[in-house]
Amino acid sequence: MKLLFLTLLPLWLFGSQILNYNIYDRTDRVDLMLTFDTPFEGTISQQHQSDSILIKLNNVSIESPKVKTLNSKFLSKITITPIGTQVQILARVPNSISMQASKTSDAYGLRLRFLKKTLTEKTESQKKVTNLSALPTKNSSELEDNYILVVIILIVGLIITFWLKRSMFNSANSTSKPSLFKSSKNSSNLSEASIRFQKQLDQHNSVMMLDYADASYLVIIGNNNVILDKFHDAKPVTQSDFESILDNKEEELESYLQLDKIDKVEANEVLESYKEKASI
């Protein structure tokens, strides 16, 4: 009986244990991803100092202290230390940086994002305490809607890719606007899709402005088919408008072309951000 008590005592003292952590250094932010052994429903507090942010996770444990040094303008050093029934995270950051916390829908993951302060955040300096049960998460219905839209875009992308490969073997020159799908009474809604503009990124990937229903989609077609943006009223009219949109999304395009060099976890996170844009 005493042995059983000693075995269960750590579970009573600590609600969740940090199994691992990952740091993703982006051009506009740095993300610290924490993974727990059980769903984390505790609280998190943060205290801003002149050159750091002190973050406290209550009812959390970690096997041993962790220290990570980075060469980033958003974050220079992370120290994770277990203290009693909580874990303290000391982030060395400039005074212009703030921290935002969000958890995954199953509560097994926690993301701490470090980025430049907004105008509202610059006027606040007091300690903040947030109940993680109220942190933003996507409900299952929203996720299902997003996945359905992405699946539709992927299907259209596969059709476009097949059409492009076939057109490479066609030597005839046509001055009329190419049509992706033949009109038919039995054709599906996908036959309403057409290409407005397109540009080759490299030997494997192209970026296109695809018209579908009452909206236009900016998509990448290649090794992986991904939607980058959606337009309703501000649709590009000329090739110059299309080139201007590509210039504004140069970083996103370059980031996509580098996805094959990123580990699987990081690639999934980037893909999720593209899916969120598709639901806007």
Q: What is the pLDDT of residues 256-271, one digit of tens each?
A: 777 645 545 565 666 6
Residue 109's pLDDT band, with cuts at 50, 70 and 90, is very high
Average pLDDT over residues 32-50: 89
- The Cα–Cα gap between 26 and 280 comes to 23
What pLDDT digit, counting tens, does each position of 177-200 carry? 444 334 444 444 445 678 888 888
Task: Report the chain's C-alpha Rg in angstroms.
Answer: 24
16-25/60-62 β-pairing: parallel
* CA end-to-end distance (rounded Å), the chain: 56
Positive or negative torsion for Cα 165, 169, 171, 172: negative
Whole-number Å distance between alpha carbons of 226 and 117 = 30
Whole-prediction pTM value? Answer: 0.42
| Max mean pLDDT range (7-11, 32-36, 241-245) | 32-36
**Residue 27 and residue 221: Cα distance in Å, rounded?**
24
- Cα within 13 Å of Cα(274), Cβ side: 25
Would you list the domain boundaries of the chain?
10-133, 140-168+187-278
Helix 140-167 to helix 264-278 angle (10° resolution) is 100
Predicted pLDDT at 7? 44
Task: Provide the b/e sequence for 169-188 (b: ≥16 CB within 10 Å).
Answer: eeeeeeeeeeebeeeeeeee
- Whole-number pLDDT of residue 141: 58
Instruction: Judge residue 213's burial from the number of C-beta atoms within 10 Å of its C-beta, 0-12 exposed, 13-18 middle, 19 or more buried.
Output: exposed
Smallest CA-to-CA distance from 212 within 149, 161, 163 is with: 149
CATH topology of domain 10-133: Immunoglobulin-like (2.60.40)
pLDDT at residue number 131: 52
- Give just the sign of the alpha carbon dihedral 139, 142, 146, 152: positive
Put residue 266 in one of left, alpha, beta given phi > 0 → left and psi -120 to 50 → alpha.
alpha
Helix (H, G, I), strand (E, B) or coil at 220: strand
User: pLDDT tens digit string along 201-231?
Assistant: 787 788 888 888 778 888 888 777 778 788 8
